Amino acid sequence: MKSTRQPNDMNYFFWYFPAQEKPEKSPVVVWLNGGPGATDILGIFAENGPCKIDKDLKQVPNPNSWNKKYNMLYVDQPMHVGYSYDQPTRGFFHPENGTFQALGPNDKPPPFKEEFIGTFSSQDPQSTANTTLNAARHFWNLMQVLTRDFLKDQPSDGTLSIWAESFGGHYSPVFARFTQDQNIRIAKGKLNDSITLDLSTVGIMNGCVDTETEILSRPEFAFDTNTYGIQHISKEERDAARELFSKPGGCRDMLRQCNRLGASKDVAFVGRNDEVNKACSEAERFCSEKVDGAYFKQPTKRSTFDITQCVFSTDVPNENFRRYLNSQKVIDALQLPVNLTEFSRTCFEEFEKTGDGVRRHMPAIASLLDLGIPIAMVYGDRDWICNWRGQVSKAIKHTQADRFFNHSGYTDIEDDGKVVGQVRQQGLLSFTRLFQASHFASASQPESSFTVFDRAMQNKDIATGKIDVDAGFATEGSVDSTVASERPALLAPVCSLLSIGETCAKNQIEAVVNGTAAIKDGIVTSPQLPPGICPTS
């Protein structure tokens, strides 16, 4: 591969869905789920892909699929994620901690359910990326091959848009910035036999972008700045988080030390400098434990992805695709040598070791705006972990930053006669708050998510979709979005065997492991959740 080192074989899985209408006039839109380590299969079947899977495991068209109007490309990355693999390896992911254990021909299989055993990517740490920029290097090389060998034969308008979710707040701007840097090198004759990838809109869906800017918004949101009237932590816990962030030697100082060291000793974000990795991983761990910690210590467990729901309720409202993909019929049809790795803990841990999650990537957003590339930031307002109160859009230091902060305000977003959110937009930058949407906005509010996506892709005003946006455009309204919302109905928690780490409590996982759990149709029916663990309102 160019611009990076990779010792092992790499087999990337992608799924391409041409636009249903006029694909030749549509860009190619890359969708990336986050993690790091989450599969794009989630995006296809539970969020914005062309079909859902019903309870009978039948395909049902998604009326809000993003490929209604756009050529959609879903890519499982980094390596080991989803169906992407290096060396097919028989083994299992342990239900208690998600770690992978290979099984040799003479190894005794574990005592728990056979659904956990299969053939997967090896999970060799050497095969995957350990920083966002290394992942960008892999992505660019993949796009070179895909463009040369596949996309050139698919009708499109020749441009590439990148949209990403969650940790995608790192992925999409950094991947786009790296792609643009490679374009410049190609233009200067410094990269032979390479293809220019013409960038268009870059999108961030409920993205965690910059820890120093965002992290205090989480205890604030859990205390009283969410718009659903939920107080999940106490004032004392909120105040303690503030102190642990700002005190000398605290979270903020550790984050700044990490990034000072990175700026001098790991400028290329390759993740091989031990001093930088130590400082950044320790900062990430301290900030997570001390500033975020109170959220997880409450007796009532709320979801990190939807503050209105129990942590064991399904954050993505369609679990059927997991059973669908696990059926032998579908496995045979896909003709793949590996089973699905829905979340690669190996990938996640490699990023943790370098502390990449707290390295500063926000300058990539500023530089893209200054290069004339539109940026759309879209946030569901029920998300806690990457919440809309993070202030990132106000902290981007691009040349029009003063105009965005001083000359634009929040205005209503209208969709089919309904107000579905509010937006602050100036020139090439828009920041959207979607009402009643979770971390997975295009799953929980598919219609309004598509509307915002479509308007952003057409470079229209997000509020109405009727105005062509130029550098002088700015929304008018209040400096803050203060609309309060009613809490949605509570979803009943369901302990699903195929998403055991997300939907099952410790006692249920232990019962599955030791063989005492009662399981019917992939659902753990006994034991039940401990009393009081889920909210009642």
Running DSSP on this structure, what letter comes out for residue 222? I
Q: What is the DSSP string of 381-402?
A: TT-STT-TTS-HHHH---TTHH
Structure tokens that stand for 110 in this block: 């574990």
The residues near 123 (Cβ < 8 Å, ≥ 6 apart) are: 80, 89, 100, 344, 345, 346
Q: Which of 84, 161, 166, 444 is catalytic?
A: 166
Provide the sign of the torsion angle of the four alpha carbons 289, 126, 73, 428, taken in this order.
positive
- 3-class SS of residue 90: strand
361 class by beta-carbon count within 10 Å (0-12 exposed, 13-18 middle, 19+ buried): buried
What does pTM read for this prediction? 0.96
198 class by beta-carbon count within 10 Å (0-12 exposed, 13-18 middle, 19+ buried): middle
The one-letter amino acid at 496: S
- 3-class SS of residue 433: strand
CA angle 303, 309, 313 (to 5 degrees): 80
381 catalytic per annotation: no
383 catalytic per annotation: yes
| CATH top class, domain 1-86+121-211+303-489 | alpha beta
Residue with tokens 């700026």: 263
**DSSP-H helix ranges across 122-248:** 132-149, 168-187, 211-214, 217-220, 235-246
Q: What does each of the 537 residues of the chain score in pLDDT, given as a tens digit?
A: 555 555 678 999 999 999 999 999 999 999 999 999 999 999 999 999 999 999 889 999 999 999 999 999 999 999 999 999 999 999 999 888 889 999 998 888 887 667 788 999 999 999 999 999 999 999 999 999 999 999 999 999 999 999 999 999 999 999 999 999 999 999 999 999 999 999 999 999 999 999 999 999 999 999 999 999 999 999 999 999 999 999 999 999 999 999 999 999 999 999 999 999 999 999 999 999 999 999 999 999 999 999 999 999 876 656 788 889 988 888 889 999 999 999 999 999 999 999 999 999 999 999 999 999 999 999 999 999 999 999 999 999 998 888 776 789 999 999 999 999 999 999 999 999 999 999 999 999 999 999 999 999 999 999 999 999 998 999 999 999 999 999 999 999 999 888 888 899 999 999 998 889 999 888 899 999 999 999 998
Domain residue spans in the chain? 1-86+121-211+303-489
Structure tokens that stand for 62 in this block: 């998604």
Q: Which of 40, 210, 306, 383 is catalytic?
A: 383
